[in-house]
Chains A and B, each alone.
Chain A
Amino acid sequence: MRRLSGTACRGLQELHGPLLVIEGISGAAYGEMVQVRDPHGELRYGRVLEVRPQAAVIEVFEGTAGLGLQDTTVQFLGTTFELGVSPEMIGRVFDGLGRPNDGLPAPPAVVWRDINGRAINPLARDYPREFIQTGISAIDGMNSLIRGQKLPIFSGAGLPHNELAAQLIRFANLPGESQRFAIVFGAMGIKHDEAALFREAFAISGLQKVAMFLNLADEPSIARIITPRVALTAAEYLAFDLGMHVLVVLTDFTAYGEAVREIATSKGEIPSRKGYPGYLYSDLASIYERAGRIEGLSGSITLVPILTMPNDDITHPIPDLTGYITEGQIVLDRNLFRKGIRPPINVLPSLSRLMKDGIGAGSTRDDHAHLANQLYAAYARAGQVERLAAIVGEEELSVVDKRYLAFGERFEREFVAQGPDEDRSITATLDLGWRMLTELPKEELTRVTEEEIKEHLP
């Protein structure tokens, strides 16, 4: 694209939701950045969404409130949205568009990068296999996090996803590697106190290496479509230029999706489900797929997106499409929360797709996969029995079923539940898992081998 700065144009034809239509121009480029000057001389930023003959449709990140057709000028910047990246982003706080908002000047850019990034060639990827110990049994034991994975947290309004994420950040910092470890935090539409909680978590963990990109609840919603992209552009630089292991936490994707929907609706696009545009899948993929590892490069991007499922509905388009793209999900559950289980992770709908290649002899322990499978099968059965008992009464249960019921309860209370400061080693987690299995008759343990039973069952 041209590097020249275009001239300022007038000729606004229409203002509509976050969109602006300008006519009588030539040479606007698809995806080009623009600067919009409002009647008071204040600047806003926008991007060309559609090129038409002699016209362009522009999305304005700060919204169009206060703009008029006559007294607004638009300047085409001749470039796509780029972020100047540098090692000095670490330790800084930016707004949702990547501008400093900690009162300091912007760190001098080492290089400018298009925030949309480019697709990683599947041939150049390195398959992630390195186990990250988070200290949380429901994750380490049952849905292990792998370095370079994209593993979202599916939560609901009022559930403690932020606490979980904070816990994860605190423990996932590998000892001895802190020099090469950084966190990039991107907030989309979260509340001020939530943002504060994360800052606190970063402070407690002694992590200095954090870069924050914040678009909070009271800030312009359209800018949210930019926030995860600037955050990942920063992360890519840290990971693949500087060789760092970067943990990227992005929250809340539900707010992100709503911003995408708002633009699509304003454009009058035909929606697919619940008003969300049909391309939301590709749009989310263009964000999530930026996580990973690359052959020959030492850094990595591990991505933990957080989203709140509207109405706790996992089939809602945002969690649904996310689940179709990410490499598993950690699901928080309101029932467990009500029972007082913390963290309220429901392991059944949770999944880590990369777990199988990152665990076992040499990284965790050779019985890990079988044990996890056994716990899954048993806990699933316990759930069925519980539902059955609710109908027919506990007395009607078979002897074996009653033992499953006991297992289920103990599993939730002792294995899943743990204190916010309790950092369990993987060995402790696995041993605990075996202890849970003592609730069941030995003949039921068909997912583990006889040798494993001999060796590990207390």
Chain B
Amino acid sequence: MWISGPVVRVTTHQPARMMEMVFVSEERLIGEIIRLRGDEAIIQVYEDTTGLEAGMPVFGTGAPLSVELGPGLVSTIYDGLQRPLAKFVERSGPWIDRGGRFPSLDPVRRWAFRPATSAGITVEGGMVLGTVQESAVITHRILVPPRVRGTLRWLAPEGEYTVAEPIASIQTASHETTVTMRHSWPVRMARPVRRRLRPSIPLLTGQRIIDALFPLAKGGTAMIPGGFGTGKTVMQHQLAKWSDADLIVYIGCGERGNEMTNVLKEFPHLEDPKSGRPLIERTILVANTSNMPVAAREASIYTGLTLAEYYRDMGLDVAVMADSTSRWAEALREISGRLEEMPAEEGFPAYLGTRLAEFYERAGRVETLNGQEGSLSIIGAVSPPGGDLSEPVTQQTRRFVRCFWALDRELASARHFPAIQPVESYSEYAQDLLNWWLDHEPEWARLREHVVDLLRRDRRLQQLVKLVGEEALPDEQKLALYAARLWREAFLQQSAFEPIDRYTTVEKQLAMMRVIDHWYERASELIKRHVPFYRLAELPVNERIMRMKLTPNEEAATILHLVQEIDTEMETLAQSLQV
């Protein structure tokens, strides 16, 4: 036996399989076989290996690392191996002791099951057998497990059942299968769908810079790269709180314990704007914090994704936040290093790109096996060393995602949040979502284009300012700079912590966009009529525009009063100057 950190090499006497889950030592620490060579197996151990000795037994399970799926997942916080953290508290108090093995779903809790079909029909994987009200907002559909096909012999009547009790039996070609509300699924295997659909519906987030400039589609992928303290986690929390998904799976992968605690304390008290219910009722948490074993960090991403896919299969829009995918990549690197594999860039294994591709490919808007529409969106934080975006994880991830929300250190230092760099960032969904916006808010696309153009122009002008100073510019250019500043400060900047500002409805976003756009349009006319720029910069209405974000969502319409105020003030100004 050979032990180095989370990697253990043993001689096996029984047949073993790749990716098989095993138990190491009498303490039964959970591990997974990651390499087989002759009679030697290499195991990554998901728990602290301190104290393991040569000659300790290893027990095979014959099954790959899997999660349990069924009612009871929602509102729960799990570790990376889907063990409920609450069970650890019962077992060892505030500190996590290794070796805990607990059922992921409560085996004794009874759920009110309502059948949705009746015996006698032919069923196949994905069909809805019945429903359980899992939380006030999640109607859990009990599905025929994927790959099962046959005649429904028996379906349980309406009543209360545990996840272990039979609720149906299906006669397949070879045998009769009993179906319970719980089934297990290997975490590293994507769950099947009927077909993929184009992501063409926005995931509305209530975050102005995202919805308006760099939108995410339901079923889309996004990355948030940024140095420490630039706002990745706050952004992930914002999306988990306010986006219009049906279910959120939040994966804290190798990050701070307090951040998970924060979610746990806050989500029961925050209201989902869609349902009016506490956010925790539509949230599942997977926490493998930075001080928890590193190999389990690697697994936690897959655990979270599989839970998300399961709910997507019920026809829900699910969004997964993974904070931070860099820590997952580092776990890969650590294991790879201990295996003495040939590294590619910066010590990362050559298969980093493949793994990232597999991960983000599990996102998508799909037609489920039962013909419903569901989606799984993935938003991954990336923590580049030294904030340097040319590093391998950022670069590799970029190949597989379609939204790039790059966080900027300078914006973050000025406390301009979200610190998304407005020119380098992009969303490839903007185009795909055009039709949706045309159907819903026909003006949106035009306004968006105006902001994007103006911000690009601002970027070029800023270069010029750095050479000659702002005073040397013609008034028309000064105006463009000023308008860009209005966009940035009055619209793009949004505080995650101000109760009014943290979430903005589409209606309010639109009103704000109209106001700034109108200001610039009218001001440009006046500049053409030789009104000096400084007089426009002094208009009292400007300050009110700067503060319009503090108008509550419900009063969004009143923001449009500013349009008249702009007209009045500018008219008066023009008249006073007799232009």
**Chain A contacts to B: CB under 8 angstroms:** 1, 26-32, 49-54, 80, 116-128, 240, 269-273, 278-279, 281-282, 285-286, 289-290, 292, 294-297, 315-317, 320-321, 323-325, 327-329, 348-349, 351, 353-354, 356, 369, 373, 376-377, 380-381, 388, 391-393, 396-398, 401, 443, 446, 449-450
Q: Of A80, A278, A380, which one neighbours B330 at CB under 8 angstroms?
A: A278
Contact among A30, A286, A388 for B466, CB-based, below 8 A: A388
B550 → chain A, closest Cβ, in Å? Answer: 8
A272 x B86 contact (CB < 8 A) = no
Q: Which residue of A lies closest to B228 (CB)?
A: A323
List the B residue with the shortest CB-CB distance to A352: B229
30 interchain pairs, CB-CB under 8 A: A27-B55, A29-B53, A51-B52, A53-B54, A117-B95, A120-B94, A120-B96, A120-B257, A120-B291, A121-B89, A121-B95, A123-B88, A127-B262, A273-B385, A273-B386, A278-B347, A279-B334, A281-B327, A292-B258, A315-B386, A327-B256, A353-B229, A356-B497, A376-B413, A380-B413, A380-B416, A391-B469, A392-B467, A443-B542, A443-B543
The residues of A that contact B383 with a CB separation of less than 8 Å are 324
B294: which A residues are within 8 A, CB to CB?
279, 282
Q: Of the candidates B50, B415, B468, B497, which one forms a contact with A31 in the assembled complex, judged by CB atoms under 8 Å apart?
A: B50
Q: Which residues of A contact B86 (CB under 8 A)?
A: 123
Contact: B1 with A392, CB < 8 Å? no
Cβ of B346 within 8 Å of any chain A Cβ, yes or no, is yes
| B289 beta carbon closer than 8 Å to chain A | yes
Residues of B within 8 A of A292 (CB): 257-258
- B289 near A124 with CB under 8 A, answer no
Q: Does B193 contact A (CB under 8 A)?
A: no
Q: Bound state CA distance, A317 and B386, in angstroms?
A: 7
Identify the closest chain B residue to A287 (Cβ): B291
**Bound-state Cα–Cα, A52 to B3, Å:** 6
- Quick one: which of A28, A317, A324 has the most chain B CB within 10 A? A324
Determine the residue in chain B with the shortest Cβ distance to A373: B415
* A30, A31, A294, A376 pick with most chain B CB within 10 angstroms: A30
What is the CB-to-nearest-CB distance from A244 to chain B, in angstroms, rounded to a whole number? Answer: 16
- How far apart are the CA atoms of A398 and B5 in the complex, in Å? 60
**The one of B54, B289, B470, B497 that contacts A289, using a Cβ cutoff of 8 Å:** B289
* Interface check B97, CB cutoff 8 A: yes
Smallest CB gap from B539: residue in A: A443
**Does B290 contact A295, Cβ atoms closer than 8 Å?**
no
Residues in chain A near residue B51, CB distance under 8 A: 1, 29-32, 80
Distance, CA A57 to CA B18, complexed state (A): 28
| Distance between A283 CB and nearest chain B CB, rounded to angstroms | 10
Among candidates A28, A121, A349, residue contacting B54 with C-beta atoms closer than 8 Å: A28
Interface centre among B88, B254, B290 (most CB of A within 10 A): B290
CA distance A392 to B466 in the complex (A): 8
CA gap between A128 and B470 in the complex, in Å: 45
**For residue A32, which residue of chain B has the nearest CB?**
B51
CA of A118 to CA of B472 in the docked complex: distance in angstroms?
A: 62
How many residues does chain B have at the interface if contact means C-beta atoms less than 8 Å apart? 76
Say yes or no: A278 contacts B96, CB within 8 Å: no
Q: Which residues 217-266 of B sit at the A interface, judged by CB distance below 8 A?
A: 227-229, 252, 254, 256-258, 260-262, 264-265
Q: Within 8 Å of chain A (Cβ to Cβ): is B64? A: no
What's the nearest-Cβ distance from chain A to residue B344, in Å? 11
Tell whether, in the assembled complex, residue A381 and residue B414 are in contact, meaning their CB atoms are under 8 Å apart: yes
Q: Which residues of B contact A273 (CB under 8 A)?
A: 346, 385-386
Chain B nearest CB: distance from A450 CB in Å? 8
- Nearest Cβ in chain A — how far from B10, in angstroms? 10
Residues in A neighbouring B555, C-beta threshold 8 A? none
User: Which chain A residues lie closer than 8 Å to B474 at the CB level?
Assistant: none
Hey, which chain B residues are within 8 Å of A295, CB to CB?
94
Q: In the complex, which residue of chain A has the Cβ closest to the Cβ of B88?
A: A121
Chain B residues lying within 8 Å of A52, measured Cβ to Cβ, are 2
Closest to A445 in B: B543
B489 contacts A282, C-beta separation under 8 Å:
no
Q: Are A315 and B257 in contact (CB under 8 A)?
A: no
B334 close to A278 (CB less than 8 A): yes
Chain B interfacial positions (CB closer than 8 Å to A): 1-5, 49-55, 77, 85-86, 88-89, 92-97, 227-229, 252, 254, 256-258, 260-262, 264-265, 287, 289-292, 294, 327, 330, 333-334, 337, 343, 346-347, 383, 385-388, 410, 413-416, 465-472, 489, 497, 538, 542-543, 546-547, 550
B490 to chain A, nearest CB (A): 8
Q: Chain A residues near B415: list those with CB within 8 A.
A: 373, 376-377, 380
Q: How far is the CB of B463 from chain A (nearest CB, A)?
A: 12
**B97 to chain A: closest residue by CB:** A118
Closest 6 CB pairs of A and B: A315-B386, A380-B414, A396-B469, A285-B290, A392-B469, A31-B50
Closest to B414 in A: A380
A residues near B49, Cβ cutoff 8 Å: 30-31
Given A123-B85, A285-B290, 16 new contacts (CB under 8 A):
A51-B3, A51-B4, A117-B95, A120-B291, A123-B86, A125-B257, A272-B385, A278-B347, A281-B254, A285-B254, A286-B291, A317-B385, A323-B229, A348-B414, A353-B229, A449-B547
* Distance A30 CA – B48 CA, assembled complex (angstroms): 10
Chain B residue contacts of A398, Cβ below 8 A? 470-471
Q: How far is the CA of A182 from the CA of B388 in the complex (A)?
A: 40
Residues of B within 8 A of A80 (CB): 50-51
Q: How far is the CB of A383 from chain B (nearest CB, A)?
A: 9
* Residue of A32, A118, A123, A401 touching B77 (CB-CB under 8 A): A123
Q: A278-B334, A279-B334 are in contact. Are A124 and B93 (CB under 8 A)?
A: yes
Among candidates B53, B257, B465, B471, residue contacting A28 with C-beta atoms closer than 8 Å: B53
Task: Out of B77, B256, B287, B333, name the residue touching A278 (CB < 8 Å).
Answer: B333
Q: How far is the CB of B396 from chain A (nearest CB, A)?
A: 15
Give the residue name and chain of the A residue nearest to B84 (CB): A123
Interface centre among B388, B469, B489, B547 (most CB of A within 10 A): B469
Please determine whether B547 and A446 come into contact, CB atoms closer than 8 angstroms: yes
Report which of A122, A282, A320 forms a contact with B287, defined as CB distance below 8 A: A122
Known: A327-B256, A328-B229. A119 touches B289 (CB 8 A): yes
Which chain B positions have C-beta within 8 A of A396? 468-472
Q: Which residue of B lies closest to A393 (CB)?
A: B469
Closest-CB distance, A221 to chain B (whole angstroms): 22
- Residues of chain B with a CB closer than 8 A to A348's CB: 413-414
Contacts of B333 in A (CB 8 A): 272, 278
How far is A123 from B51 in the complex, measured between Cα atoms in Å?
Answer: 27
Distance between Cα atoms of A30 and B228 in the complex (Å): 33
